[in-house]
Structure 1
């Protein structure tokens, strides 16, 4: 635990439980959307599914994680049949 304290000034911190929950939730939604898009041959669903699975790796702020995730989920809703 002492090693984490020395890395905090460099910007290395562990994510909180809300961030981890959001990352797992949106990744699961993305996986389901990708599978549905692959099965139905719907390119927008495959692309949005991949985006939902991968964007948590690029975003570190919890509020932004939820904002982008909701926007991508709205995109799935928009492209539904």
Structure 2
């Protein structure tokens, strides 16, 4: 179970770095803050299923929110 938690945290953090860089270059605040949240939230998660659910919702957030 720890391996799945580490791998999913690594995947979502890598996606978060991409969102953050995209948000900086395109001046998109929703993508920038979502990327920062994707990088930082795996430190707070203890369950793989909640990590995946929160990660997917953070990835979809810039699609529906325009800041």
RMSD: 1.6
Q: Does 1:46 align with 2:38?
A: no
Q: TM-score, normalization: structure 2?
A: 0.87
Bigger relative contact order (CA 8 A; separation at least 6): 2
1:8 alignment partner in structure 2: none
Give the Å deviation of 1:79. Answer: 4.8
Higher relative helix content: 2
Larger Rg computed on CA atoms: 1
1:37 to 23, 47, 50: 23
Q: How many equivalent pairs are there?
A: 66
Detail structure 1 runs of 4+ shifted over 6 Å in the superposition. Answer: none
Which consecutive unaligned segments of at least 5 residues does structure 2 have? Answer: none
Give ranges in structure 1 of 5+ residues lacking alignment. 1-14
Instruction: Quote the residue 1:25 is aligned against.
Output: 11
